[in-house]
Amino acid sequence: MSTYHTLDHFSASGKRVLVRVDLNVPMQGDIVTDTNRVTKTLPTLKRLSAAGAKVIILSHFGRPEGVYQSNMSLNKVLPALRDALDGYNVSFASSCIGKIARANIEAMNEGDILLLENVRFHAGEELNDPLFASELAKLGDAFVNDAFSASHRAHASVTSLAQLLPSYAGLLLQLELESLTGALNDPQRPVGAIVGGAKVSTKLELLNNLVKKVDFLIIGGGMANTFLFARGLNIGKSLAEKELAETARKIENIALKSKCKILLQTDAVIAKELIAGQKPEIIGISQIPEDAMILDAGPQSTANFSENLANCKTIIWNGPLGAFEVPPFDQSTISLAKDVALYTKNKDIISVAGGGDTVAALTHAGVSEQFSYLSTAGGAFLEWLEGKTLPGVAALQD
């Protein structure tokens, strides 16, 4: 983090501080069903408030496409934010720019917290319009980005605003950057990675980057079927992108040159249909029937994966190994997740995981709190693993 200003370098007392967070939370009716993103904003908000700043929150919510939509008003998130900030003075402004925003800010006392309305109600946000960014900048004396999950977007409240005001990384963003940098750019070795999911096509850049940086790579889920097919194995009617067989072979060649070992399953849990509650059939990977689908890695494969991971110092995980949403095809993911959690605790392994399906899978396994770091950043996490420069992060550089 040496190229970024952190809150350790910031005297916030008496200043109007614009804080970009991610309050794009799931809702059912008027109830926030998962407050994880709200909770993760609290350390930065509380620190700035305690320092005597006027804390002014910027966030997006949904995809309103530049127009006001009542069901995407951040006023709906306000009760959850107030509950999380019990004891703090938290208010709401029905606009994020202009007279309404300015009036609400002028009425604040030091230490107060103000939530501004959804920045995506203005087309200038997603267009990264400098005029919209300048309107936001008029409201503050400094800018803090604490939304790593939005930092892969070159939007006005993420990038342009950072160039108009003295800018700092918030505590959550700092933690995310330090965790990911430590896991991928300057890791303790050996480094093992687990990449799962349905399609190779969605993770080509990720695979091409990881095989150059990790010591071994476990490929699972539907992606593994494409690699198995590329190796000449019969995969029955399993989900696969057979047209990417040559691409899979190229990735394996890059891995070979980079001295990265790719691990695929040697046995499989199969069924003729993807239906919950079936009695699983376990079979060797070279014996898949024509009318069957590979739906999970088998126990022999899972044990082999775990044995390799036990020797690691750093583990990176993105994507489940099988059709984990449909039991009993979740067993490999659950078993391996529990093992990684145990290694993290007992062997001082650094374990970093992220992505929507990954968070869901590790939560399903009951170990989401036992990894060294679990990112909820989704697309930003994936782009970081792909080796891309994130606009919101680059905007904070000296």
Assign residue 21 the CATH number of its domain.
3.40.50.1260
Residues 125 and 254 in one domain: no
Instruction: Note the pLDDT of residue 75.
Output: 97
Residue with token string 């009542």 = 70
Residues 70 and 191 in one domain: no
Residues 285 and 211 in one domain: yes
DSSP β-ladder status, 281-284 and 261-263: unpaired
Residues 251 and 294 in one domain: yes
Instruction: Note the pLDDT of residue 299.
Output: 97
Residues 183 and 264 in one domain: yes
Residues 155 and 197 in one domain: no
Residues 352 and 231 in one domain: yes
- Residue 46 and residue 386: Cα distance in Å, rounded? 33
Provide the whole-model pTM: 0.87
What kind and span of H or E run contains 32?
strand 31-32
395 lies in some domain: no
Residues 199 and 298 in one domain: yes
Query: Which residues are tagged catalytic?
Result: 37, 199, 356, 379
381 lies in some domain: yes
Say if CB 290 and CB 323 are below 8 A apart.
no
- Residue 320 and residue 148: Cα distance in Å, rounded? 23
Q: Which domain holds residue 61?
A: 7-172
> DSSP 3-state assignment of 122?
coil
Q: Which of 172, 192, 207 is the last residue of a domain?
A: 172
Instruction: Note the pLDDT of residue 355.
Output: 82
- How many domains are there within the chain? 2
Residues 69 and 123 in one domain: yes
Q: Which of 135, 152, 172 is the last residue of a domain?
A: 172
Residue with token string 């501080």 = 17
Residues 213 and 256 in one domain: yes
DSSP 68-92: --GGG-GGGTHHHHHHHTTTS-EEE
392 lies in some domain: no
Residues 235 and 88 in one domain: no
HSE-up (13 A, CA, CB side) for residue 359: 15
Each residue's pLDDT expressed in tens, for the chain with a length of 398 residues: 448 899 998 999 999 999 999 999 999 999 999 898 999 999 999 999 999 999 999 999 999 999 999 999 999 999 999 999 999 999 999 999 999 999 999 999 999 999 999 999 999 999 999 999 999 999 999 999 999 999 999 999 999 999 999 999 999 999 999 988 888 888 999 999 999 988 899 999 999 999 999 999 999 999 999 999 999 999 999 999 999 999 999 999 999 999 999 999 999 999 999 998 888 899 999 999 999 999 999 999 999 999 999 999 999 999 999 999 999 999 999 999 999 999 999 988 999 999 878 988 999 999 989 999 998 888 898 899 998 989 999 999 86
Residue with token string 């995310």 = 176
In Å, what is the CA distance from 209 to each residue of 184, 212, 226, 384?
Answer: 10, 6, 18, 10
Q: What angle do CA 371, 148, 54 make, to 5 degrees?
A: 115
Residue ranges in 278-388 assigned as alpha helix (H): 299-309, 331-346, 356-364, 379-385
Residues 92 and 208 in one domain: no
396 lies in some domain: no
240 lies in some domain: yes
140 lies in some domain: yes
